[in-house]
């Protein structure tokens, strides 16, 4: 399970943490933060078989800076929506972090269907370097690790099985480096609660194998690429 859990804490700083686990070790999150306020994690190196840093429900004003992550599954908000008593998430700032050969880089994930109607808002990922990361930017509102969720049999205009979590006000700023996948930005939001105000600024993501520009895929998302002429990718398909 988690190496370090920060749960129901206020005004807590964690600095110079060194966590190491094999890349194939299951469910070995480095640091998990839940239902906490004013938390700062900085100047740390985390190598795991799961998320380097994961943030659960009920968090406010969390700052994650100068994290070196790899191997692992990146830095995640979620998964959210599995349990009935979950609370909103707001004020999450991830800045100046480096990801090397991780499965994911920056990710928000919610269950579909979800058991609550909570909100994720005011999230900024900025000044991030990715090196051979499989999925650099992910919003996944169809998270279901065991492939047994009802959304997998949903009809075209049917909201049954959709996530009821609202994701709003998320910024990806100055995310640069190499992606293992051609699709470096993968935003798949809920039909029932489409994502709102998703912004991409100063992206520069190329494929690791060829150095060619990456692409972006967005669904059910109100999104904007700020000044698309100077960023890669520059639009969603």
Report the distance separating Cα 123 and Cα 61, nearest Å: 10
Q: Tell me how many degrees the CA angle 76-133-74 measures, rounded to the nearest 5.
A: 20
Which residue is catalytic, options 29, 50, 51, 57? 50
Task: Count the Cβ atoms, other than its own, within 10 Å of residue 133.
Answer: 28
Q: Are 216 and 236 in contact (CB under 8 A)?
A: yes
**Whole-number Å distance between alpha carbons of 78 and 120:** 10
Give the whole-angstrom CA distance, residue 232 versus residue 214.
7
Would residue 50 show up in a list of annotated catalytic residues for this protein?
yes
Catalytic residue among 51, 57, 73, 186: 73
End-to-end CA distance of the chain: 37
Q: Which of 115, 112, 9 is nearest to 55 (CA)?
A: 9
Q: Enumerate helices (H) and strands (E) in the chain, giving the number of each.
A: 0, 18
Q: Is 222 a catalytic residue?
A: no
Enzyme catalytic residues: 50, 73
């Amino acid at each position: 399970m988690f190496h370090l859990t920060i749960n129901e804490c206020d005004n807590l700083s964690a600095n110079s943490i060194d966590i190491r686990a094999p890349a194939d070790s299951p469910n070995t999150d480095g640091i998990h933060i839940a239902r906490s306020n004013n938390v700062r994690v900085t100047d740390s190196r985390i190598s795991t078989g799961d998320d380097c840093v994961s943030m659960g429900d009920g968090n406010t004003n969390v700052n994650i800076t100068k994290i070196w992550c790899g191997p692992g599954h990146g830095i995640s908000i979620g998964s959210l929506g599995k349990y009935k008593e979950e609370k909103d998430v707001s004020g999450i700032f991830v800045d100046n972090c480096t990801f090397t050969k991780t499965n994911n880089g920056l990710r928000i994930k919610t269950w579909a269907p979800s058991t609550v109607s909570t909100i994720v808002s005011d999230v900024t990922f900025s000044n991030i370097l990715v090196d051979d990361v499989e999925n650099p930017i992910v919003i996944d509102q169809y998270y279901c690790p065991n492939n047994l969720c009802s959304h997998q049999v949903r009809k075209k205009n049917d909201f049954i099985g959709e996530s009821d979590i609202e994701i709003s006000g998320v910024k990806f700023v100055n995310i640069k480096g190499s992606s293992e996948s051609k699709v470096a930005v993968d935003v798949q939001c809920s039909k029932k609660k489409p994502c709102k105000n998703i912004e991409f600024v100063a992206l520069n993501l190329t494929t690791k194998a060829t150095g060619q520009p990456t692409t972006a895929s967005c669904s059910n998302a109100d999104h904007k690429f700020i000044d698309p002429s100077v960023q890669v990718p520059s639009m969603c398909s």
